[in-house]
Amino acid sequence: MILALKFYMFFCIVLFGIYIVRHFVFTGNRLLGKQKISYGDILTSELPTVSVLVPMHNEEKVAEKLLNRLVKVNYPKDKYEIVVINDHSTDKTGEIIETFKKENPEISIKVMHRTTGNRGKPVALNDGLKIASGEIVVVFDADYLPSKDLIRNLVVNFKNPKVGAVMGRVIPVNSGKNILTKLLELERIGGYQVDQQARYNLHLIPQYGGTVGGFRKNLVVKTGGFKENILAEDTELTFRLYVNGYEVVYSNRAECYEESPEDWSVRGRQIRRWSTGHNQVMFSYIFKLLTSKHLSFFQKVDGILLLMVYLVPVFLFLGILDAVALFFLGEANILTYSYFWVISMMIGTFGNFAPFYQVVAGAILDDSPAKAKLLPLLFFNFFFNTFYILLGFKDALIGLVKKHYPIWDKTQRYGDT
């Protein structure tokens, strides 16, 4: 028993050590390393056709803002269409969409009202794909505000035949709202400006994030569309593309505003959903990833670490219990075992989604270093996140054992920015 507890402690120390090294490598790459050229730099008259898919469920607060931005984008109108999927809305979303379509006849706007069948983003996207005619599909959640050049900047990445999906950068529009939105902005800065870009630079696995991103329609349709029982359809698509020999590209200059959750309960439910979905993907793909012939050794290592992102807090939680047990059993000299443990916990998982060196590096690259002054508060965020990640892991585990799949829980919109 004691041996098992000690072995688990050793396992945690090694695991967190690996994550620490990974975060330092990413930070170092962004501050000092060679940066890859962005495909977004390509200028050409020959652009592919694109369908912008917007799934909406009770989005009356934000629907019109997004649609207004989408009709203003800089993309040839004969190669561009907007597909809005009104997914079981019970508010005025449907009316807003129909009115908007009538008022903008110069743009091809297709509207689908889903009133039967399951609700949820993957199901809505699958239905949207049936009526989308573009070679490339770009997806936006309803609370996003795309800039004028964003569609071109994303779509031009697909000129590279190896690219299966592209992901742009998300920037919170309501970061000044309260302490939560400020902390979420820090996570976004570290997560995109450093983590995603470094993975692109190092030819690892940048992640398609489900919104402000796009994919090749034929690839997704050919491989069965979106898996409707998986709550992280974006992560699933990322790994599906990689094990099939395609790449995901991160485009740091394809920036788009999003609305961050403004209260803790909404954020908690969002994390729980992400954790459930991400762990579902981990159960499905960890062996496929290891056995894929298309991935390099380092891509496999990065892929495994990425798949385990929402499992690490579970290991950490158990590790804390383990340390306490060892201490009370008189088998742990705290300074012997824990000095690395304390450091790794503080450095490696501080903030969980964007460890703090990445946050500061990102803030410096964004010319906003003062933002990182709130960094110490991410420590509390970490415990909050851990709680909901544990709940999400439990949901995923139950789903795996009982084949009982969780319901899509949409993030609440505020529409006041």
Partner 1 sequence: MKEVILLLGVSLLFIPIFLTLILGFRNNSLSIDMEYVKDPFYFGNSFRKKISDVIFSSTIINKNLVKAKLSREELIVFGKINFINSVVYRNCVYVSFGENHIRKGTYFEKEILSTGNLYIGEDSVLRAVASNADIFLGKGVHIVRWIDAQGSIQLGEDCILGISSASKKEIKLAKGVRFTRLFGFPVCTNKNRIKNPSREIRENRYGKEVVIHADESLLIVGDIFADEKIELKNVKVIGNIFCHGDVYLENVEVGDENSYFSVIGNKVFISGNSNVSIFGYIQAGYLKGFVV
**Is the CB of 190 or the CB of 392 nearer to partner 1?**
190
Closest CA to 140 of 153, 152, 151: 151
**Cβ closest to partner 1, residue 13 vs residue 397:** 13
Residue 34, classified by CB atoms within 10 Å of its CB into exposed (0-12), middle (13-18) or buried (19+), is exposed
Task: Please identify, using beta-carbon distances, which residue of 116 and 336 lies nearer to partner 1.
Answer: 336
DSSP classification of residue 37: P
- Shortest distance (Å) from residue 386 CB to partner 1: 18
Pull the structure tokens for residue 190. Answer: 């570290």
Residue 129 Cβ vs partner 1, minimum distance, rounded to whole Å = 24
Find the shortest distance in angstroms from Cβ 359 to partner 1: 7
Total Cβ atoms within 10 A of residue 293: 6
Q: Judged by CB, which is closer to partner 1: 117, or 245?
A: 245
Q: Which is nearer to partner 1, 186 or 307 (CB)?
A: 186
Structure tokens at 328: 């009370």
Q: Which is nearer to partner 1, 117 or 376 (CB)?
A: 376
Q: Which is nearer to partner 1, 248 or 282 (CB)?
A: 248
* CB nearer to partner 1: pick between 76 and 117: 76
The DSSP result for 224-267, as a single string, is TS--TT-S-HHHHHHHHHHHTT-EEEEEEEEEEEEPPP-SHHHH
Cα torsion 73, 76, 78, 81: sign: negative
Q: Is the dihedral of CA 188, 189, 190, 192 positive or negative?
A: positive
- For residues 350 and 21, is the Cβ–Cβ distance under 8 A? no
Interatomic CA distance for residues 7 and 196, integer angstroms: 33
Please spell the DSSP secondary structure of 65-77, one letter per residue: HHHHHHTT-SS-G
CB of 161 to partner 1, least distance (A): 4
Rounded-to-integer distance, Cα 253 and Cα 157, Å: 12
d(CA 318, CA 341): 13
For partner 1, the closer of residues 39 and 388 by Cβ is 39
Would you state the structure tokens that stand for residue 78, as one six-digit string? 């004969």
Work out how close the CB of 84 gets to partner 1 at its nearest, in angstroms, rounded to a whole number. 21
Q: Are 125 and 51 in contact (CB under 8 A)?
A: no
Closest by Cα among 212, 219, 209 to 240 = 219
Tokens standing for residue 257: 């505003």
In the complex, minimum distance from the CB of residue 257 to partner 1, in angstroms, rounded to a whole number: 6
Shortest reach from residue 105's CB to partner 1, in Å: 24
Nearest residue (CB) to partner 1, 58 versus 153: 153
Q: Is residue 54 classed as helix, strand or coil in its secondary structure?
A: strand
Nearest approach in angstroms of CB 343 to partner 1 is 3
Q: Which of 115, 87, 415 is nearest to 258 (CA)?
A: 415
User: Which residues form the interface with partner 1 (CB under 8 A)?
Assistant: 36-37, 39-46, 69, 74, 145, 147-149, 152-153, 159-162, 171, 175-176, 185, 189, 203, 255-257, 335-336, 339-340, 342-343, 346-347, 350, 356-357, 359-360, 363-364, 366-373, 375-376
Closest approach of partner 1 to the CB of residue 344, in Å: 8
Residue 269 CB, nearest approach to partner 1 (Å)? 26
